[in-house]
Amino acid sequence: MISPAKKIIPVFNKQQRRLVWTMAVLTVIAAGLLLVFSWRLSRLNFLPAWSSLSVLPALFQGETMRETAVATLPVFSSTEELSFLSSPDGRNFAYILNNNQSQQLVLNEKAGPIVDSVTFMAFSPDSRSFAYTYKLKDKERAVINGLVGKEYDWIFNPRFFTPDSRYFIYKAREKGKDRLVINSQESRLYDRIYEPFLSPDKATLIFFARDGERLWRGEIPLERSGDQ
């Protein structure tokens, strides 16, 4: 009579052989699929041919690069970063000098007054005008082409030149209310002025503002250079 232990051994060996054969078949199938995938992948061209680089022009068209020293900068510490801005035509530049707890804006090597902080600077699109805003003793002013504007509690975005470079526009806060300033001309005060924008033809400045329980829509016509 065969003991129960001897009956289990042949059954276990049969299951083991079946598992081995199953794994072998799956391995062959996976290898075949991998081979087919590799062949299809090799036929794809992900990178452009090296010959296409020959159509690119020479960097300087055979000319020698030119450079000119335009200014002598003060000595900066190795950890200090220079806030620098160039005009669109590359002929003018401005940067901010840090001096302990104060700052000073330098435009084309001409230094401006010492202030608490310079909060914004920009060249006009035609590179002929320059504007910046600064904070001094908790008040803020805008300077456009060297002309210092009115004192406000706060000047904030948007601050921008119009595409024709004729107007510098910004929002200012005074006595807890907002007003728009175009060059030096002010709108009336509102509780809140929302983001102003230019009309599609760039001829009108449009804004929405809240005053009490009313929402206002304002339009400010901008005289363009061709309208004179």
Amino acid 19: pLDDT: 75
Count of domains in the chain? Answer: 1
Cα–Cα distance, 57 to 125 (Å, whole number)? 29
Which residues are CB-neighbours of 133 under 8 A, at least 6 positions away?
Answer: 118, 119, 120, 121, 140, 141, 142, 143, 155, 159, 170
Whether omega for the bond prior to residue 125 falls within 30 degrees of 0, making it cis, is no
Mean pLDDT of 127-135: 96
For the entire predicted model, the pTM comes to 0.68
Residue 169 domain flag: yes
DSSP letter, residue 205:
E
Amino acid 1: pLDDT: 47
Residue 15 domain flag: no
Q: What is the CATH number of the domain that holds 104?
A: 2.130.10.10
The alpha-carbon radius of gyration of the chain (Å, integer) is: 35
Cα–Cα distance, 190 to 208 (Å, whole number)? 10
Residue 32 domain flag: no
Residue 188 domain flag: yes
Pick the more confident residue, 190 or 54. 190
For the stretch 167-179, pLDDT in tens is: 999 999 999 999 9
For the stretch 23-61, pLDDT in tens is: 877 887 877 787 777 766 666 655 555 555 556 666 655
